[in-house]
Protein backbone atom coordinates (compact mmCIF):
# COMPACT_ATOMS: atom_id res chain seq x y z
CA UNK A 1 0.00 0.00 0.00
CA UNK A 2 1.21 3.52 -0.77
CA UNK A 3 0.02 6.67 0.94
CA UNK A 4 0.90 10.35 0.64
CA UNK A 5 2.70 11.92 3.60
CA UNK A 6 -0.12 14.37 4.28
CA UNK A 7 -2.70 11.60 4.38
CA UNK A 8 -0.39 9.49 6.56
CA UNK A 9 -0.05 12.40 8.99
CA UNK A 10 -3.83 12.70 9.28
CA UNK A 11 -4.38 8.96 9.79
CA UNK A 12 -1.15 7.91 11.48
CA UNK A 13 -2.58 6.08 14.52
CA UNK A 14 -5.22 4.31 12.45
CA UNK A 15 -2.60 3.20 9.91
CA UNK A 16 -0.32 1.93 12.67
CA UNK A 17 -3.16 -0.24 13.97
CA UNK A 18 -3.86 -1.45 10.43
CA UNK A 19 -0.22 -2.48 9.90
CA UNK A 20 -0.16 -4.28 13.23
CA UNK A 21 -3.31 -6.26 12.40
CA UNK A 22 -2.76 -6.96 8.69
CA UNK A 23 1.05 -7.39 8.94
CA UNK A 24 1.33 -5.50 5.61
CA UNK A 25 3.74 -2.63 5.09
CA UNK A 26 2.80 0.88 4.02
CA UNK A 27 5.08 3.02 1.84
CA UNK A 28 4.82 6.73 2.60
CA UNK A 29 5.39 9.04 -0.35
CA UNK A 30 6.21 12.70 -0.72
CA UNK A 31 5.48 14.26 -4.12
CA UNK A 32 4.93 10.74 -5.44
CA UNK A 33 8.35 9.45 -4.40
CA UNK A 34 8.79 6.86 -1.61
CA UNK A 35 10.44 8.37 1.49
CA UNK A 36 9.59 5.98 4.33
CA UNK A 37 8.11 2.60 5.08
CA UNK A 38 5.88 1.58 7.98
CA UNK A 39 6.39 -2.11 8.71
CA UNK A 40 5.15 -4.41 11.46
CA UNK A 41 7.58 -5.35 14.20
CA UNK A 42 8.61 -8.98 14.31
CA UNK A 43 8.11 -9.86 17.93
CA UNK A 44 10.54 -12.50 19.08
CA UNK A 45 10.41 -14.20 22.44
CA UNK A 46 12.82 -12.64 24.88
CA UNK A 47 15.69 -14.85 25.88
CA UNK A 48 17.07 -15.01 29.37
CA UNK A 49 20.65 -13.89 29.76
CA UNK A 50 21.28 -16.95 31.92
CA UNK A 51 22.42 -19.85 29.78
CA UNK A 52 22.64 -17.69 26.66
CA UNK A 53 26.15 -18.93 25.81
CA UNK A 54 25.52 -22.54 26.84
CA UNK A 55 27.31 -24.93 24.54
CA UNK A 56 29.65 -22.32 23.06
CA UNK A 57 32.70 -22.97 25.28
CA UNK A 58 34.79 -26.11 25.52
CA UNK A 59 36.90 -26.81 28.63
CA UNK A 60 40.09 -28.69 27.82
CA UNK A 61 42.10 -30.02 30.75
CA UNK A 62 42.02 -29.11 34.43
CA UNK A 63 40.97 -25.50 35.02
CA UNK A 64 41.08 -25.70 38.85
CA UNK A 65 44.56 -26.97 39.79
CA UNK A 66 47.48 -24.52 39.85
CA UNK A 67 49.94 -24.60 37.00
CA UNK A 68 53.60 -25.41 37.60
CA UNK A 69 54.94 -22.12 36.36
CA UNK A 70 56.70 -19.44 38.40
CA UNK A 71 55.61 -15.87 37.96
CA UNK A 72 56.34 -12.61 39.66
CA UNK A 73 53.88 -10.02 40.81
CA UNK A 74 54.75 -6.43 41.52
CA UNK A 75 53.61 -5.22 44.90
pLDDT of residue 75: 59
Q: How confident is the model at residue 54 (pLDDT cuts 50, 70, 90)?
A: confident
Q: Report CA torsion sign: 45, 50, 53, 54.
A: negative
**Mean pLDDT of the residues in the chain:** 89
> 26 forms bridges with which residues in the sheet?
38
Q: How confident is the model at residue 11 (pLDDT cuts 50, 70, 90)?
A: very high
Q: Domain spans of the chain?
A: 2-28
- Would you call 36 helix, strand, or coil by DSSP? strand
Amino acid sequence: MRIAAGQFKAQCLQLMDQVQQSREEIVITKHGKPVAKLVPIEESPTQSIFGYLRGTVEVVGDIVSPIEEDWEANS
